[in-house]
Amino acid sequence: MVEYVAQNLDVVFHALSDSTRRGMLGQLASADQTVSELAAPYAMSLAAASKHIKKLEAAGLVKREVIGRTHICRLNAEAMREAEAWIKRYAKFWATRLDTLEALLGAEDQAQIELTSTAKG
């Protein structure tokens, strides 16, 4: 199970590592689109766009439906759930670290205020 999750995360993060693929996912977040529509914002051939879409499909992030000669792509955000959980663990880590830093800085500020008040008094 752990190995499967790790492999799946690797594939998802690899798919997300490319700005074109992230852009395509952003396009699909608002509506299903054809390969041509996904390729339109980029200076690339339909074959190149199709290669990007295949990477997204391999990661489970996109599902493609073929109707005649038209390939319609739709976002499968569920595939990002494991990646989101992995990232959230680190978000909790940093939130705790930042809370600790905030408390230390607050204590330092309070000590400085008290020192200044004592010096004036």
Q: Please give the mean pLDDT across all residues of the chain.
A: 89
User: Could you tell me the sign of the dihedral formed by the alpha carbons of 89, 94, 95, 100, in that order?
Assistant: positive
Asked, for residue 92, whether it belongs to a domain, the answer is no
Residue 33 forms part of a structural domain: yes
3-state secondary structure of 42: coil
What's the domain count of the chain?
1
pLDDT of residue 1: 47
- How confident is the model over 59-78, as a mean pLDDT? 95
Does residue 64 sit in helix, strand or coil? strand
Let me know if residue 107 belongs to a domain. no
State pTM to two decimals. Answer: 0.71
Within a domain: residue 82?
A: no
Q: What is the CATH number of the domain that holds 61?
A: 1.10.10.10
For residue 99, is it within any domain? no
102-113 pLDDT tens trace: 888 888 878 888
pLDDT digits 0-9 by tens, 31-56: 999 999 999 999 999 999 999 999 99
Residue span of the structural domain in which 41 resides: 2-77
Q: Evaluate whether residue 93 is within a structural domain.
A: no
